[in-house]
Structure 1
């Protein structure tokens, strides 16, 4: 009995010793695994840090290259506009994506203090944007620095937005080379870059604002087959680039039996709205909901309702709900309709650069399109929304004075159209 106890006692000690050995071995194994893991983690962290450093270096090198291109372009390239009043500097900052690879470019114009709208615009419009910026000798460096900040710090802008400059011939940019010593810091908040300049009005500056000359620059130096001219503080409905691309392919197949001339004499109207901030409507369903709740209304409805009423918003609202872009209905132009539209760039009449400040700048070009034989096809699902509601009491003090001046200019413009299009019976 004592012998059996001795055996079991020794066996128990052996088992305990064996278990202890296993625990020790497992402990060493875990320590070894942890050492390998820590080594790999440290190596991975070093690799990631090196990757970040390489990316930062690449971005810095690219920024220096872009800066030098900007300085060289502003110094060397000066093209006179059609009026002989301004110099154009095209492609001063060029988008990464080649615009000719997509069928449509959005074209717009602005002063430097409204360039911040490009962030939302470029994120809503998944395609090329050609923007013409108005500046002068004193503001050129700050304008370029702001554009460089937008280009460097926002991927959608760097990818799609190409900047052009327009400035009065008598106010040539000065000391542009100073731009090379200025820092572009993406850690700086966009609001600080613009420093409250949103309160300024384009029309209230000492230098008359040349809408039409700027629009011509944005159109002329866009590289897509179609252009979509809107104001910079507007936002297009989602998926419009892709939807229009598919629409044009269907139109091309359907019109194969028609002449090119007949096909080219149409523009595609995009209904315009205005909204209380912020803009929340991204598709027609959400737009109609916001419209029904009073957050959205037809553009200019409280300022110049007749300027947009021809669009027939009620008819557009009640079009059949189909999941693709198509023509809803076709309209003839009527005075004083000012539709926003998508058009083929080829043979499109440019804007008359003599119109500046407020009044008749956009309608003069639409009037000429009508006289030239264009029809106006309203798209069923596309729209644009202006940031904020337009109110009569929120315009600058000289609005009416400028409007009367441009009204006289418009009368002369219409008389000239009779000479320019002698064989066409349409009048506006």
Structure 2
């Protein structure tokens, strides 16, 4: 019998054990852009986001061809997208999973060397099945521990709960995560 990896148990344990107020619950194969943590704190201080109930900060996720270096800056990432060597995460296998509100605007803006809020959105049609990775706090609903990677949509119930509570999702301009390695073009047999 196949043993199911308890990804949501791990996510919940990591978040609960965090020593900081803000937490990025990320999978190990997601590589952050340059100086993500420091730039996030700078933004939080500049925009007075110290107390943000029912608000999380979304970091867009992308995939890059395995033949190129992982980009460190938004400028490098956008260039790879223009060269068709990068796409938003899971574009080829689940177009709705990581396509985020404002993606076109995100591609066109230049935040300089900082992180800025691009827009605030709710998880509504056509983004009602979106599963963002975000920086939040320990007070967000926990991930449902009955769901796993093997079943896909392992974050879906948490997202539903956040929608029912009325959470807002602040799309951040500047930072990003890159799923490594390569661009996934088809689902594997086990998915």
| TM-score, normalised by the number of residues in structure 2 | 0.89
Rounded to whole Å, the distance in 2 between the matches of 1:238 and 1:320 is: 15
Root-mean-square deviation over aligned CA pairs? 1.8
Q: Does 1:340 align with 2:133?
A: yes
Q: Are positions 1:353 and 2:136 aligned together?
A: no
Q: Report matched runs for 1:264-413 at 5 Å.
A: 264-277=53-66, 278-334=68-124, 335-345=128-138, 347-356=139-148, 357-387=150-180, 388-393=182-187, 395=188, 397-399=189-191
Compute the TM-score of the two structures, normalised by the length of structure 1. Answer: 0.41
1:211 aligns with 2:7: yes
Render the CA deviation track for 1:73-112: whole Å, top value 9, x for unaligned.
xxxxxxxxxxxxxxxxxxxxxxxxxxxxxxxxxxxxxxxx
- Equivalent residue, structure 2, for 1:227: 23
Question: What is the rounded CA distance, in whole Å, between the counterparts of 1:229 and 1:244 in structure 2?
Answer: 15
Unmatched segments (≥5 aa) in structure 1 = 1-204, 400-428
Q: Distance between the aligned counterparts of 2:104 and 2:12, measured in 1?
A: 32
Higher helix share: 1
Could you tell me whether the CA contact under 8 Å between 1:236 and 1:385 is conserved in 2? yes
SS in 2 for 1:285: helix
C-alpha separation between the residues in 1 aligned to 2:174 and 2:160? 25
Tell me how many residue pairs correspond in the alignment: 185
1:295 Cα offset (Å) = 1.4
Q: What displacement does 1:276 show?
A: 1.4
What are structure 2's unaligned runs of at least 5 residues?
none
Q: Which has the larger radius of gyration?
A: 1
CA distance in 2, matches of 1:384, 1:361: 18
User: Shift of residue 325 of structure 1?
Assistant: 1.1
